[in-house]
A and B are shown apart, each in its own frame.
Chain A
Amino acid sequence: MGTKTSFLIAWRSISRRKTKNLSVILAVALGVTLLVGIQITTDTLENAFLTSLLQGEGEVDVRILNSTSGGYLSTTEIGPIGDLIPDAVGIMSEVSSQIPALVESQFDPNMNIAGVSTNYSDVFGTFYDWKTGNQLDLDSLFVDNSSILLSSDQAEKLGLNMDTILPFNLTTEFTNLTTTVIPPPLIPLSNWTVNSELTNSPHVLVSNPLGLHLELQPTNFASMVTAYTIAAPNLRLSNYAYVNVTSSGTSNALISLSFFMDDGSSFDVANWTIPSILNAVSFDLTPYSDRILRGDVYVSVMSSNGTQASLDMLDIAFETPTIGGSSRLPVVLLTPELARVELNVKGFFDSNRPGIGSQYSGAVFKLEHLQSWLSLKDPFHETDIVSAYLIAFKTDHFTEEISEEFLKTKVELLEEIIPEKTDDFTGETNKIYQVSAPRLNFFGVAGFFITLLSTILSALGLLITLTGLLLITNVQLMSVEDREFQTGVLRAVGENRRGIFQSIIIENLFQGIIGGILGLFGGLAFGQGVAIYLVSLFGTGELSVQPVISQEAVILSVIVGIALSIITGILPALRASRVNIVDALRGIKVKFEAKSSRNLVTLGGLIIFLGLIMLLVNGVFEESSQVFWSADGWDTLAEWRNLMIGFGMLAGGTGLFLSRFINRIKAFNIAAIVLWAIPSFLFLVAMGNWITDTGSLSIDILFIGVGEIILGSILFVALNLPIVMRGLRKVLIKIRGLKGVAEISPAMISSHITRSTLTFAIFAIILTLNVLVATLIPTSLGNITELEEDSKGVDFVVFLNKPETILNGTSFSEELYNLDSQITDVIGLKTFKPNQDFTKFIALENPLSSEFDGTTDLLPIGTGEFTSIQIRGNASDYSDDNWRYAFYLDGFPDGIRESFASDLSDSELLVLSKRSWDQFFNSTYRMAAYNVSSDFLSIISGESDISDLQLGPGSEGDSFGPGSGGDSLEGVEPLRNVDGDIIENPIVFTDSFLLPIGFQVWIPMNISSMGLPNYQAFTIGGSFDSQRAGGFPLGSSLNLGGGETDFSAVLGSLYLSEYWANQTNFLGEANNQSLSSRAKDQYDSYLIKTSLSIDDLQFEQITQSIKEFVNTNDEGYRFLADDNFYVASTAITYARVEQTLQLTDRITSFLQIYVTFGLAIGAVGMGVISVRNVAERKREIGMMRAIGFPRAAVILSVLLELVVLGVIGLVIGVIDGLIISAGFASMQNVALVIPWDQIGVYLSFIVLIAIGAGSIPAYVASKIPPAEALRYVG
C-alpha cells in the first residue's frame, strides 16, 4: 500500500476521530501561540519603544552642530550647510537651552526652551493648538520677546491644563553677563623721585604716566643714579607669575630693579643687566608667592664704560599665565547676574500630536527673541547664534519611518564632506561641523534593549514552550498507544511499517496546519496582551502599542505548528510502526525491553567521550580554568559550565552504556541522580561560597543548571514512579472506603510511565519557575533588613534645586530642625550638576594635551563635596567608633584595595571604607593613575557603538563596575609621564558606574581670566557601594517607571574633599576669585537623621511638610530667602526599598503571565490526559464496575490520578525551585525565605486544576453502563 492509502487512512482517522484530533490540535495551537506570541510581543514592544523615542525627533533626521562642544553656529552658515546637503527636503535653524520656570507655586528648575524661526520650512510640520487642535499662527502670537508657547507636556508638568486661561505669566531667569575689564597691574611710572643717597652723579629724571626716563652723566665708573616710587600697589604675589618690563636704553647702561616686600626683604628683577636683557626676561615670581609687595620700588642705572647711559621704561607689569603662555592682557571680569524675567505664555501646543510640536517638550520662542535673551550671557552679547541646523531628508516620518540604512549612509556621507579648518593655535585640523543623528542612536538603543528583553522573554518562553512540547508529545503518544489495536489490524491486513508511519505523519501534518493557524490567532492575542501589559508595567503608558505582525511571524507560526506536530509525532509514529502485530491484536501493550540494544551502547560511549572532553577542558585544554580534581577547579562559573555539561554527558552516557549490562532503571537512575546533583551542588554549596565572582552569571549557565536539575529530577521520579506509587498504595489502602481505589489508581499511574511523566513534567517545570519567582520577593525582602544598618541612620534626604540662600541668623538646616522636632541630625552637602555648561564638565583627557577632543572627552557628570565633619563627625580616624555618616565603599584606593576580599564581613568592610575616607580627607594623599578604560564611556563618547557592549561574561575589565572580589587593579599598569615617573593625583570618590577605580579624570576648578576653566587631574580613588546604602542617597538610580531622568543624574557624580571643593568656584569659595562661588555652608542636599525607626510611616508627613515649607510662593522658605525659585524634593530611604519591591513585584507579575500560561498548558494537558485515559480505559472501567466499584470510586480514581501527577510535579517543582532560589540567595548574600503560603496556594491550585480538568471525563466515565464499557475495543 502506498502514500495514497496512507493519506486515506490519515484522512479517515482525522475526520472520524474528531474529539481525539481536537486535543492534538489544541496542543499544537497552544505551542504555536506561545512561540508566535513571544515573537509578536517582541516586535510590538520594539515598535512601541522605538516610536516613542523617535516621536520626540519630529521630522528631524539630522542635526548639524558646531564641532566644538557648546559653541554656536551663525545664521549665515545656513548657506554652506545647505550646500553640503543638496538632497535635504527641509532645513531650519534652532536655538535651544534650559531655564527655570515658575507658574504660581509650581516650579520646574529645568525647562527646555527653543527658538524657532517663524518662517521655518513646512516640511517640519505644524504647531497645533492643544485645546482646539487648530493650527497656531506663530507670527501673531510672538508679539514681543517675552511671548512664548508652552508644550502640552510642559503645561502638565507645571500643573496646568488645556483650559488654563491664556495668556498668563511664567517667571524665569536669564543669565546676564556683565564684563568688567581690569587693566593689568602696572607699577605707575609717574611721580618717581631720585634717591639722593644712592645717586652721586649728574642725571636727568623724567617721570610721567607714559614712561620713566633716567639718564646718567657719569663722572667715574662708580657713578650711579637711583630713582624710586612708593606708589606701587600692594599686590599679592601668589596671584602673579611674572614681572615683565618693557624697556630700552643705551647698551652701556647697567640696570638694577628691586621690589620690596611686606617682610622687608626684596627681590631684584634686574641686577645690573643691560636694557635689552631686561626687556627680554620675564622674572619668575613663584619663589615669592606667599608675599605681598610693600609699595617701594627702586631702579638704578650705572654706566659700563663711563660714558653717558640712559634707560627708558615703558611699563613694569605683573602678569598671570594664560593658555599659551604669559601675555599682558587686561583681566576681564565676567559677572554673571541672574535676571528674573516675566514671560508671557500666549498659547499651548500639542506635543503629542504628529507635527513640529512633538519635537519640543518645553517652551518655544521666536528665534530672534531667544537669540536676544541668550546673547545676554555672551561677553560680547552676540545675537547671531544658532544651536543647530535641523535637517529633514523626508517628510511624514509619523506615517512612515525613515530607513535606518538610508539614514546611516546619509550621515556617513555627510560626515565625510564636512570642511576642515586648521586651528591656528595647535595646528590641528578639525571638522567644522558635527553631525548628530539621534534617530540612529534610538535605533541602536531600541535594538539593544529589545535584544535584552527578547532574550529574557525567549528564555522564559522557551521553558514554557518546552511544557507545550511535552503536552504535544504526550497527546501524540497517547493517540498512537490508543490505536495500537487498529495498527495491529492494519498490519495484519497488509499495511507495511512505512505505511503506518506515513499515515500517522500525514495525520500530524493536517493537525499541525490547523493547530498552526489557530496558534497564529492565539499568538496574536497573546502577544498583543503581553505587550500592552508590559507597557503598563514598565512604560509611561504613552507608548503607542500597535501590534506588529511581521510576515515572518505568520510563516513561522504555520511552520512551527507543522514542525512541532511532526517532530513530536515521529517517536510515537515510529513506535506505532514497530507494533508487534500479534501482541497488538491480543491487546498487549508495547513494553520496553529491559536492556538496551548495541546501538544505544555505542551512543552512550560516544556521549561519555564528549563528556570527558568537556571535563578535560577544565585546566587541560583551557589554560585559564583550573583542573576539576582540585578545589580550585570549581570556583568560577565558567568552570561550572564545563563541569555541568561534562558530568551531565558523562552520567547520561554511562547510563546508556550500563543499560545494556545492568537493569535499565538502575542504570538511568545513576544518570538522573548525577544530572540533578551537580547543578544542585552548584546552587546550594558553590554559589556564594566557592564561587566568589558571580557577576558573570550568564543565561546559558543558568539554563544548563536549571535544565539539568529539572531533567534529572523528572527522570529520577519517572524511573522510580512504581516505587512511589507502591508507597501511595500503602498509604491509601489503610483508608476505609479507598481500598479499592488504592488498589487500582497507583497501579494505573505506574502502568503508563511515559504518559504520567510527561504530565507531571509539565507541572514540575512550571512550578520550578513559579517557586523561583515566588521566592524572589521575600528573598529580596531579606535585603531590607540590612538597610537600617547600611543607611547609617539617614532616614530621608532633602534636595534643593539650587544652593540655599545665606540668611541672617538662620540657615536651611536650622529651619529643618525647627520644622520637626524628631529630626536629630541634618548633614548638608554641596552638589553641582553642570547641565549644559560645558566649562564645568569633567574631562576624560588632559584638556591641555594635543589629544584632547572637546566633542568626546567631556562628560556632563555632577560633582559634590564631602567634608570631614559630614562623614567623620568628631572622629579623628578609622579607629574611632564615633563616625557621623560612615558609609560603605566597594572600590578602594591604593593600599586599601589590596586587602579587599569578597567574603569580608560588614564590619571589616566598614573599616576598609573608613580607612579610605581617611585617605580621602588627607589633602596630601596622592594615588597613582592606572591604565584602565571604561566600555560605557567609549559608548557615551561615541568612540564605540552600544551594540559593541558585551553583556555578561566575556567583557574584559570593568564594564559593570568594580569586580566583586580582590584587587580590581591587580596587574594593571600605572600611567607614567614622559619622564617615566608614575603619575600620581589627589583622589576623588564616585557613585558613577561609568568610572572605574584608578581612572584619571580632570575636574574644572576655578575659571581663569579667559573664562576657561583650570583643570586639576584626579584619580578615581573609591566608589560607593550602590548595593548598600552607600549608593544612597547620593547615587542616583535609574528610575524605571516614569518620572524625569536627568542624563547627568543617571551618570552619577564625582565627590571632592573639602580641600579641593573649595578650589572650585561652583562648590567652594575658590580663593574668593569668583562671585558665583559658594559660601562655606551653602548646601543643596541634606541627609536627615531622625529619632524614628527607618520604616516609620511618619516620614511621608515630615517630607510633605518640608516640601510645603519650601514649595509655596511667598511663604516658608521662599519667603525667608525672598526667592520663589526654590523647590525641594525628598527621598525616603525606606521608599527605596519599596521601589525595589515594586520593581520586583512588576517583574514577578510579568513572569506570572508566563507562569499562568504554563499552568493553563498544564491544565489542558491534564484535561487531555484524563479524556484519553477515560476513553482508553473504558473496558477497565467496565471491569471495575462489574466487580463492584461504585461510581464514586470510578470518579475518584480518575481524579486521583491527575491530583497525584500534579502533586508529584509540585513536589519536584518546589524542591528544584528552592534549590535554585537558594543559589540566588547565597549569591546575593541574603537569607532564603521560603514562601510556604505561596506553595500552599500552588498546591490548592494544582488540585483545583486536576479536579477541574478531570471532573467531566470522570463523570462521563462513571456514567458508562458496565455492559457497554466491557464491549469497548478502542
Chain B
Amino acid sequence: MKTRKNSQELIKKQPILSITNLHKRYNIGKSNEVHALRGVDLTVNKGDMMAIMGPSGCGKTTLLNMIGHLDRRSSGNIIIDKVDTSTLPDSQMTAFRRDNIGFIFQLFNLFPFLSAVENVETPLLLKGVNSGLAREQAKMLLRELGMGDRLYHQPNELSGGQQQRVAVGRALINQPAIILGDEPTGDLDSTTSSDVMILFRRINRTNNQTLVLVTHNRWIAEQCDYIVHMRDGKISHLEPGPFKRMEKKQ
C-alpha cells in the first residue's frame, strides 16, 4: 500500500514515460513462443533515476528495448514525453528514438572503427547538425565526462570505463528525454562501476536527466531513486531507493 501511494504521488509530478498494459510475445504461433512481457504498467517522472531488477529471463531487457523502441510491442501503450509512439511508422520511430532516447549498453556497443569523438558526434550528424559544430559539442561533452585526453582514441584503445564514458557521451549528446542503460556496469570491475554510477548520478542531478537502468546488481540499483522489481514478465513491486528513503525520512 505504501508503495502504491508513493507511485501515485509521483504521477502528480511530470510523467515523462508512462507504460500501460504492455505485452510482448516472441515467435508468435511457433512452438517456441515466448510471452516475455505480460502486462506491464509503469510511470517514470522527469528527473527520475530508476533501476529495473529481476532474475534472468524476467523481461528486463525486453522492457528496456520496448521503451527504447528498439523492438515492436505486441500490445499496450508507451507514452514518452506526451507522445504515443505505438502508431508511428518506422522512419518516424527512428527519428523519435534519435531525438528522445539515449542508449548505454553492457558491451558499450561503440562503433569499433570510429574514434571516441566520432562515436559521440554521430547522433548530432544524424540530426543534420553542421559537422564542425557537432565536433565541438562532442569534444565539450567528452571533456566534461573526463575524456578530454582520449578524444581521438578508438574503442579498443580505451579501457572499459573509458568506453562506457564515451557511450554515455553518445547517449547524452542529443539531450534525450530518457537515457536507457542495459547493465551499463555489467562488464566493469567494481571500482570502475562505482565511477560510472557516480557519473550517472551527476548527470541525473545536474541535468535533471531521466535514467532507466537495468541491472541485477543490488548495489547499483540502490544508487537509483526507485527500484522496479520484475518477475515473469510483470512488475512485482516498486521500491524507492535508499536516497529517496532518506529524502523521505528527512
Q: Is the CB of A1190 within 8 A of B131?
A: no
CB contact between B123 and one of A747, A1180, A1182, A1187 (< 8 Å): that residue: A1187
B23 within 8 A of A: no
Contacts of B129 in A (CB 8 A): 739
Which residues of B, 69-121, contact A by the 8 Å Cβ criterion? 70-72, 90-91, 94-95, 97-99, 103, 105, 107, 109-114, 118, 121
**C-alpha gap A748/B111 in the complex (Å):** 9
A1179 within 8 A of B: yes
Given contacts A739-B126, A1191-B91, 8 further A-B contacts (CB under 8 A): A736-B128, A744-B114, A748-B113, A1183-B111, A1186-B68, A1190-B94, A1192-B91, A1266-B71
B215 within 8 A of A: no
B193 within 8 A of A: no
Contacts of A1180 in B (CB 8 A): 111-112
Contacts of B125 in A (CB 8 A): 733, 739-740, 742-743
Contacts of B70 in A (CB 8 A): 1182, 1185-1186, 1265-1267, 1270
Contacts of A737 in B (CB 8 A): 128
Which residues of B, 120-141, contact A by the 8 Å Cβ criterion? 121-123, 125-126, 128-129, 131, 134
A 499-515 to B, binary, CB cutoff 8 A, 1 in contact else 0 = 00000000000000000
Q: Is the CB of A747 within 8 A of B114?
A: yes
**C-alpha gap A748/B114 in the complex (Å):** 8
A 568-589 to B, binary, CB cutoff 8 A, 1 in contact else 0 = 0000000000000000000111
Q: Is the CB of B122 within 8 A of A743?
A: yes
Q: A506 to nearest B CB, angstroms?
A: 31
Contacts of B107 in A (CB 8 A): 587
Interface residues of A (CB under 8 A from B): 587-589, 591, 733-734, 736-737, 739-740, 742-744, 747-748, 750-751, 1179-1180, 1182-1183, 1185-1193, 1265-1268, 1270
B170 within 8 A of A: yes
Q: Is the CB of A1188 within 8 A of B99?
A: yes
B21 within 8 A of A: no
**C-alpha gap A1265/B65 in the complex (Å):** 10
CB contact between A1270 and one of B91, B105, B123 (< 8 Å): that residue: B105
For the complex of A and B, list the 5 residue pairs with the smallest distance between their C-beta atoms, beginning with the closest.
A1188-B98, A751-B113, A739-B125, A1267-B71, A1267-B70
Most buried by B among A588, A748, A1190: A1190
Contacts of A1188 in B (CB 8 A): 94-95, 97-99, 123, 126, 174
B156 within 8 A of A: yes
14 A-B residue contacts at CB 8 Å?
A587-B107, A589-B112, A591-B156, A739-B128, A743-B114, A747-B114, A751-B113, A1180-B111, A1187-B103, A1187-B122, A1188-B99, A1266-B71, A1268-B71, A1270-B105
Closest to B113 in A: A751
Closest to A1273 in B: B107
CB contact between A740 and one of B71, B90, B97, B126 (< 8 Å): that residue: B126
Contacts of B118 in A (CB 8 A): 743, 747
**C-alpha gap A733/B124 in the complex (Å):** 12
Q: Is the CB of A1185 within 8 A of B94?
A: yes
**C-alpha gap A637/B114 in the complex (Å):** 49
**C-alpha gap A1107/B118 in the complex (Å):** 80
Which residues of B, 55-75, contact A by the 8 Å Cβ criterion? 65, 68, 70-72
Q: A1052 to nearest B CB, angstroms?
A: 67
Q: Is the CB of A1267 within 8 A of B122?
A: no
**How many A-B contacts if CB must be within 8 Å?**
91
**C-alpha gap A750/B111 in the complex (Å):** 13
Contacts of A589 in B (CB 8 A): 112, 156
Q: Is the CB of B170 within 8 A of A1187?
A: yes
**C-alpha gap A1186/B64 in the complex (Å):** 12
Q: B233 to nearest A CB, angstroms?
A: 16
Contacts of A742 in B (CB 8 A): 125
**C-alpha gap A1071/B43 in the complex (Å):** 127
CB contact between A750 and one of B103, B110, B113 (< 8 Å): that residue: B113
CB contact between A733 and one of B65, B90, B95, B131 (< 8 Å): that residue: B131
Contacts of A1179 in B (CB 8 A): 109
Q: Is the CB of B113 within 8 A of A1189?
A: no
Which residues of B, 28-78, contact A by the 8 Å Cβ criterion? 65, 68, 70-72
**C-alpha gap A1193/B109 in the complex (Å):** 19
CB contact between B111 and one of A736, A739, A744, A1191 (< 8 Å): that residue: A744
Contacts of B114 in A (CB 8 A): 743-744, 747
**C-alpha gap A617/B174 in the complex (Å):** 67
Contacts of B95 in A (CB 8 A): 1188, 1190
Closest to A736 in B: B128
Q: A586 to nearest B CB, angstroms?
A: 8
Contacts of B121 in A (CB 8 A): 743
Q: Is the CB of B94 within 8 A of A1189?
A: yes
Closest to A740 in B: B126
Closest to B122 in A: A743
Contacts of B72 in A (CB 8 A): 1265
Q: Is the CB of B109 within 8 A of A588?
A: no
Closest to B135 in A: A733
**C-alpha gap A1268/B24 in the complex (Å):** 14
Closest to B170 in A: A1187
**C-alpha gap A1191/B114 in the complex (Å):** 20
**C-alpha gap A1186/B70 in the complex (Å):** 6
**C-alpha gap A1180/B111 in the complex (Å):** 7
Most buried by B among A587, A736, A739, A1268: A739
Contacts of A736 in B (CB 8 A): 128
Q: Is the CB of A1191 within 8 A of B71?
A: no
**C-alpha gap A625/B110 in the complex (Å):** 61
Most buried by B among A734, A736, A737, A1185: A1185
**C-alpha gap A1267/B60 in the complex (Å):** 13
Q: A1184 to nearest B CB, angstroms?
A: 8
Q: Is the CB of B98 within 8 A of A1187?
A: yes
Closest to A1271 in B: B61
**C-alpha gap A2/B179 in the complex (Å):** 50
Q: Is the CB of A739 within 8 A of B123?
A: no
Closest to A1189 in B: B126
Q: A813 to nearest B CB, angstroms?
A: 81
**C-alpha gap A1186/B96 in the complex (Å):** 11
Q: Is the CB of A734 within 8 A of B131?
A: yes
Closest to A733 in B: B131
Q: Is the CB of A1186 within 8 A of B109?
A: yes
Contacts of A587 in B (CB 8 A): 107, 112
**C-alpha gap A751/B129 in the complex (Å):** 25
**C-alpha gap A1191/B118 in the complex (Å):** 21
Contacts of B103 in A (CB 8 A): 1186-1187
Most buried by A among B72, B99, B121, B156: B156
Q: A1174 to nearest B CB, angstroms?
A: 15
Most buried by B among A740, A1192, A1193, A1268: A740
Q: Is the CB of B122 within 8 A of A747?
A: no
Q: A584 to nearest B CB, angstroms?
A: 12
Q: Is the CB of B128 within 8 A of A1265?
A: no
**C-alpha gap A1266/B90 in the complex (Å):** 12
Contacts of B122 in A (CB 8 A): 740, 743-744, 1187
Q: Is the CB of B90 within 8 A of A1191?
A: yes
Most buried by A among B70, B103, B121: B70
**C-alpha gap A1218/B144 in the complex (Å):** 54
Q: B184 to nearest A CB, angstroms?
A: 14
Contacts of B113 in A (CB 8 A): 747-748, 750-751
Q: Is the CB of A1267 within 8 A of B112?
A: no
Most buried by B among A589, A740, A1187, A1265: A1187
Contacts of B112 in A (CB 8 A): 587, 589, 751, 1180
**C-alpha gap A1046/B205 in the complex (Å):** 101
Contacts of A1268 in B (CB 8 A): 71
**C-alpha gap A1179/B106 in the complex (Å):** 13
**C-alpha gap A1268/B129 in the complex (Å):** 29
Contacts of A750 in B (CB 8 A): 113
**C-alpha gap A782/B125 in the complex (Å):** 52
**C-alpha gap A814/B107 in the complex (Å):** 98
Contacts of A743 in B (CB 8 A): 114, 118, 121-122, 125
